[in-house]
Amino acid sequence: MSPRLPLLRTAVAAVGAGSLVLLSATPGAAAAPVAPASATAIRVTVANTPADSGSYEVSTDGTDTTTSGSNAPLVTALGNQPLVSVGTLAQDATVAVTSGQGSSAACAGVAGDGASLVAAGDSFCLDPGDNATISAGTFELGDVEIVRADLLAGFDQQLQAALQPVLDALVPAAQGAVQQALTSVGEPEVVLDLGAVQSQCTAGLNNASGDSQLVDAGLYVVLAGQRVDLVDLPVNPPPNTKVVTDLDVVLTAVTDALETELTTALDGALAPLAAVVDQVETQLNDNIVSAVAEQLAPLEDNILRGTLNKQSRPAPGAIEVTALDLSVLPAAAEFDVDLLSVQLGESTCGPNGRVTVTEDETDDPSPSPKPTPRSVPTAVPAGLADAPGSGDAGDGGALALGALGLALAAAGTAGYAGYRRSLG
């Protein structure tokens, strides 16, 4: 082996390590943002599959302002899912540097068709139009079964013995009544109804604040085609207001329907016991309703949990505001509901900083001020040569055509001059 090889290896290793150090140091050398803001109209997770409207993010380092994402998102960005079909999404953010200090503002939300959009500033993004709805899920109540033991609960030995001959007829009669009752109630659908649900935030150098607005918003359940209100959401909720709701109304609707069905369903099966039929029928009714209620008991638990005007402060001088964070809780899983999590109107502002004044390499005693984003328009290019689609791109296209004409004319002139010289 050559004695130079270890030396070479050492040199290569040193160069490699040096390069890594330089690479890792490079991001630190870039100008840091002094004012970031972002907005996301909607995030939704259905059955562990997330989708969102994309985020619109803006930041400035005092010299350059960068943006990413769209501030004109469409509902179609959420993909092909059946739960969310709101009409208007809004997400906007803006940043500025004034007297060397960064400031940021953002707003985001959803509303129905006909809502008007307002740019980020110190207000919300949307003037509500029509209402929109978001389905929080459809509950399947079909897995309810009545067995012989359900029917016999509470009867003494004598009555149990008396019931034995008719049990084979009672069980299917009871099961039929239960199915009839469940069919009449249908598959309850829980719906979020909203005029507008939106948040906004602003942040200065060391302060940040935010707010949410829920216009004409509430949760209701559709039972047998009828709307039954569960909860009305407040318009201006204080930060981090919790809302939970159960579906007790569904259980009540099922048991009401079941009692109606049972009065006729059991009569035939109990005919052989005419002498004691009233007493037995009452007890059987209670037993069947109890069996059904036991199986639908999770409806009485908290099925939906929401946080209104959810606010957190990820850093001093920064804020994240979500107008509505709503989840369908695991208790609903028994009813084949796709577990849903939806966040509407998420705005973030800050943390903002000061523009760092670096020493100019030329030691210029009067460096030019750093440009900030324009506060008013200074140019309005409102003229087109042709309407779009007619083959011309407007002023730019016209200029290009003009330049091409001039070039052809210059070429022609040069050619003519050359021809004259060749004659001379």
CA dihedral for 162, 167, 170, 175, sign (positive or negative): positive
- Is 149 a binding residue for other proteins by CB under 8 A? The answer is no
Q: Which member of 51, 159, 277, 385 binds other proteins (CB under 8 A)? A: 385
According to the binding rule CB under 8 A, does residue 88 interact with other proteins? no
Residue 364 CB coordination number (10 Å): 9
Residue position matching structure tokens 């052809």: 408
- What Rg do the C-alpha atoms of the chain give, in angstroms? 35
Selected binder of other proteins within 169, 231, 277, 398 (CB under 8 A): 398
The encoded tokens of residue 305 equal: 């949990």
Query: By CB under 8 A, is residue 414 in contact with other proteins?
Result: no
Which is closer to other proteins, CB of 97 or CB of 284?
97
Residues 326-365 contacting other proteins, CB under 8 A:
none
Kindly tell me which of 51 and 117 has the beta carbon lying closer to other proteins. Answer: 117
- The CB-of-262 to other proteins minimum distance in angstroms stands at 50
Stretch in the footprint of other proteins (CB under 8 A) among 31-39, 97-105, 117-125, 306-314? 117-125
Residue among 51, 117, 228, 293 that touches other proteins (CB under 8 A) = 117
Q: Distance (Å, rounded) from C-alpha 406 to C-alpha 149?
A: 98
Q: Which is nearer to other proteins, 285 or 347 (CB)?
A: 347
Kindly report each contact of residues 223-232 with a partner whose C-beta sits within 8 Å and lies 24 or more positions away, as own/partner.
223/185, 223/186, 223/188, 223/249, 223/250, 223/253, 224/184, 224/185, 224/186, 224/253, 225/186, 228/253, 230/190, 230/304
Q: Which tokens hold the place of 294?
A: 């036991």
By CB under 8 A, tell whether 395 contacts other proteins: yes
Beta bridge partners of 45: 50, 341
Query: Are 91 and 119 a contacting pair, CB within 8 Å?
Result: no
Q: Which is nearer to other proteins, 35 or 243 (CB)?
A: 35
Q: Which of 47, 149, 275, 376 binds other proteins (CB under 8 A)?
A: 376
Residue 384 makes contact with other proteins by CB under 8 A: yes
Pick from 8, 401, 407, 411: which binds other proteins (CB under 8 A)? 401
Instruction: Report the DSSP beta bridge partners of residue 117.
Output: 126
CB of 420 to other proteins, least distance (A): 29
**Does the footprint of other proteins cover residue 154 (CB under 8 A)?**
no
Enter the tokens of residue 303.
């099925």
Stretch that binds other proteins, among 78-86, 112-120, 172-180, 291-299 (CB under 8 A): 112-120
Q: Is 380 in the site for other proteins (CB under 8 A)?
A: yes
- Helix 277-295, helix 248-269: angle, nearest 10: 150
Our finding on whether 69 is near other proteins (CB under 8 A) is no
Size of residue set near other proteins by CB under 8 A: 31
379 is a contact residue toward other proteins (CB under 8 A): yes
The residues in 216-275 that bind other proteins, with binding defined as CB under 8 A, are: none
For residues 180 and 380, give the distance between their C-alpha atoms in angstroms, rounded to a whole number.
68
Residue 369 engages other proteins in binding (rule: CB under 8 A)? no
Q: Residue 67 contacts by C-beta under 8 Å, 6 or more apart in sequence?
A: 56, 57, 58
The least CB distance from residue 125 to other proteins, in Å, is 10
First to last CA, the chain: 78
383 is a contact residue toward other proteins (CB under 8 A): yes
Q: How many whole angstroms separate alpha carbon 411 and alpha carbon 102?
A: 53
Which of 81, 101, 127, 232 forms a contact with other proteins (CB under 8 A)? 127
Beta carbon of residue 381, minimum distance to other proteins (angstroms, whole number) = 6
Q: Is 407 in the site for other proteins (CB under 8 A)?
A: no
Residue 217's Cβ-count burial label (10 Å; 0-12, 13-18, 19+) is buried
Rounded CA-CA distance 326/346 in Å is 13
Instruction: Considering only the stretches 132-140, 174-182, 345-353, 384-392, report the one whose residues sit in contact with other proteins under the rule CB under 8 A.
Output: 384-392
**DSSP E strands: which ranges in 186-225?**
189-194, 196-203, 208-215, 218-223
**Site for other proteins, rule CB under 8 A:** 65, 114, 116-119, 121, 127, 129, 373-388, 390, 395, 398-399, 401-402
